[in-house]
Amino acid sequence: MRFTLPVIGAALALSVGASPAVAQQSQHHGAHHRHHPQAHKRVKSHVALHVSRHSVLTGGSVTVRGKVRPSGGRRVKVVFGGTDHEVLALHTRPNGTFKARWDVGELGNYRVEAFGVHDKRVRGSHSKVRRLTSYRLTGASYYGPGLYGNGVACGGTLMPGTLGVANKTLPCGTMVTLRYHGRSVTVPVIDRGPYVAGREYDLTEATKVRLGFPGVGTVMANR
């Protein structure tokens, strides 16, 4: 019995002495467990996008460029949505920039947007929407004086302030964007004509003035 008590005392001393170390090790393990997931948390990214021009003739091309932050090699998709839908799959340079050329194949209006693809480090993001219009060259003239007060084929009355165009085949109400020397206007088809060879559009006088069109000549049209 005289040997039992010292042994128990020694065991208790070792137990008490070891407790802080065990507790400290347990706390360290818990802290490591809590902070470990943070190392794999995706950070927020940002994508900037620019288009070299917003008006282009069909068959021409535009250049898109941009940058993804944070920098590094990233995957980017540039989406052209419109008459002709296409996706460009790109990779950024080490500084996060990207650049590509796109050949415009169809007439019409396009939405252009860049998407940064998410990975282990960053979350996916997208740029602001950029607009692009593809045109063709076509002959045009204007009408109005002497016809005010008359009805138009699509309904309504032609007046000095009426905005619109006449076309032989496009459905009534079709919105057409015309461009001339840097100025553009979007107006509906309201009438039929013109009936002169080589001309596809007759602009109302108000449309002619808004566009800065001389009266007879060539305009850019997106239809």
Residues 74 and 114 reside in one and the same domain: yes
Q: Give CA–CA dist 206/3, Å, rounded.
A: 116
CATH of the domain at 196: 2.40.40.10
Residues 97 and 141 reside in one and the same domain: no
Asked if 79 contacts 89 with a C-beta cutoff of 8 angstroms, the reply is no
Strand pairing class (130-143; 201-204): parallel
DSSP states along 100-115: EEEE--S-EEEEEEEE
Given a cut of 50, is residue 152 above it in pLDDT? Answer: yes
- Number of domains making up the chain: 3
Q: What is the pLDDT of residues 165-195, one digit of tens each?
A: 999 999 999 999 999 999 999 999 999 999 9
Q: What is the pLDDT of residues 81-140, one digit of tens each?
A: 988 889 999 999 999 999 999 999 899 999 999 999 877 777 889 999 999 999 999 999
Determine the structural domain holding residue 17 and report its residue range. Answer: 4-40
Residues 72 and 28 reside in one and the same domain: no
10 or 107: whose pLDDT is higher? 107
Residues 27 and 64 reside in one and the same domain: no
